[in-house]
Structure 1
Amino acid sequence: MEELGKSVMAAVGSDPVWADMGLYMEGLNNELDRGAVLISSSYLEGRLGELLKRFLVAGTDSKALVDDFNAPFGTFSARIKGTHALGIISDTERDRLDWIRRIRNEFAHNLKANFSEQRISSLVKNMKPFDVQGKEIVMPLKMQFTVAAAQLVVSFNHRIGIVEQSRLKPVNWPAGS
């Protein structure tokens, strides 16, 4: 995993969106189950926040909706729902993110949580990572979780530039409308 993180960082150069991906992959190196889940869910939560900020009308109000204390899009759940409601993520991505969020909550609130627990393993099995031909990949649960999360990270990093091209624009409504 460490070599993958370094190769990602070397390939992306100075692009900050993709440089973060290399740091994310390096951060997963040698992590225990809890660390892999918390790092992945936190990183995905940040990517969703970035997608929202780059889609909403530019300015401090949009940033406040995502980043301020008690912000409407301040939680992982709200960011999942918000990006889905705005058409930024698909139904499948929303479902995977909800599974990741639920797995994160299991690890955050249960010190004995691990991928072999039935509740966690059934959530991970729902995420089914795919290879480039769309065939299901069979692998250990921790790796399955990490690959599914990384697939979302790659999709969202790519989508950030696309979403920005569709950024909402302010509308000057006529008086009385």
Structure 2
Amino acid sequence: MSILKDLRMLSRKQGSVEDIAEFTKQLHNESNDRGAALLAVTNADVALSAALYQRLRIGEAKREEFDKLGGPLETFSQRIMMGEVLQIYGPDTKYNLDLLRLLRNTFAHAHIPVTFETKEIAASIQLFKPLPLKLPHAVGADAKPVPAGSRDRFLHHCEIVTHNLGVWAFYGVLPVSEVHLPPGYFAFSQPKPMP
């Protein structure tokens, strides 16, 4: 059973800067649309998990209890709902995450050939809601136009959601000055939810 637990934990492991660079390289080098979609949405899912762990203050030792079969964060759908309930984001980000989930499921489970140009997929990609890019980001990154092609448009929206969740996870819960608190009490601030 330890092997399966290790395998499950490997799929949820947070990457280093080098790991993320390699992951991004693999994503952009992926020529198969199914593979690219699965990699991109997995990246968003991992960023969502990091934001949830941060918001709930779940340490490494407790994560298995939340992610296990039957756990409250077992599925992408459950994680999306939990992020909204915890006010990590609002309705626009939730909508885009649900759309990413539906597109991922289509690419993962369709028994016919599908690409980003498949009529239903291309039409769905047009439904993404525009989201602002959270700071910090590269200079000018927020001024990039939304690409016209379905694949590039999909990756664009997926990258914004992933970036925003990653920023939220990093800056999401910050200690607050304890000057006005009784001894032994802690307080944390949370940024405003994303749109």
Give the alignment's TM-score, normalised by structure 2: 0.67
Aligned residue for 2:48? 48
Would you say the 8 A contact 1:52–1:66 is kept in 2?
Answer: no
Provide Cα deviations, 1:106-161, integer angstroms capped at 9, x if missing partner: 11111411112222111111126678566852421001111111111111111112
Aligned residue for 2:21? 22
Aligned residue for 2:115? 114
* 3-state SS of 2:126 partner: helix
Would you say the 8 A contact 1:103–1:120 is kept in 2?
Answer: yes
State the alpha-carbon separation in 2 of the partners of residues 124 and 37 from structure 1.
12
Q: Percent identity?
A: 24
Q: Which of 153, 171, 178 is the matching residue for 1:162?
A: 171
Output the amino acid matched with 2:24. Answer: M
Where do residues 29-44 of structure 1 align in structure 2 (5 Å cutoff)? 29-31=28-30, 32-44=32-44
* 3-state SS of 1:72 partner: coil
The offset of 1:54, in angstroms, is 1.2
Q: Which of 133, 139, 156 is the matching residue for 1:147?
A: 156
Would you say the 8 A contact 1:67–1:74 is kept in 2?
Answer: yes
Output the amino acid matched with 2:34. Answer: R
Unaligned runs of 5+ in 2: 1-14, 132-139, 176-185, 188-195
Where do residues 60-75 of structure 1 align in structure 2 (5 Å cutoff)? 63-75=63-75
The offset of 1:23, in angstroms, is 2.8
Unaligned runs of 5+ in 1: 1-15, 170-177
The offset of 1:164, in angstroms, is 3.1
Counterparts in 2 of 1:116 and 1:65: CA distance versus 1, 3 Å: same
Counterparts in 2 of 1:18 and 1:155: CA distance versus 1, 3 Å: farther
Would you say the 8 A contact 2:66–2:72 is kept in 1?
Answer: yes
Output the amino acid matched with 1:158. Answer: V
Would you say the 8 A contact 2:96–2:129 is kept in 1?
Answer: no
Give the alignment's TM-score, normalised by structure 1: 0.73
Counterparts in 2 of 1:87 and 1:162: CA distance versus 1, 3 Å: same
State the alpha-carbon separation in 2 of the partners of residues 133 and 61 from structure 1.
37
State the alpha-carbon separation in 1 of the partners of residues 92 and 62 from structure 2.
26
- Tell me if 1:99 matches 2:84: no
Output the amino acid matched with 1:118. Answer: K
Richer in helix (by share): 1
State the alpha-carbon separation in 2 of the partners of residues 94 and 165 from structure 1.
23
* 3-state SS of 1:89 partner: coil
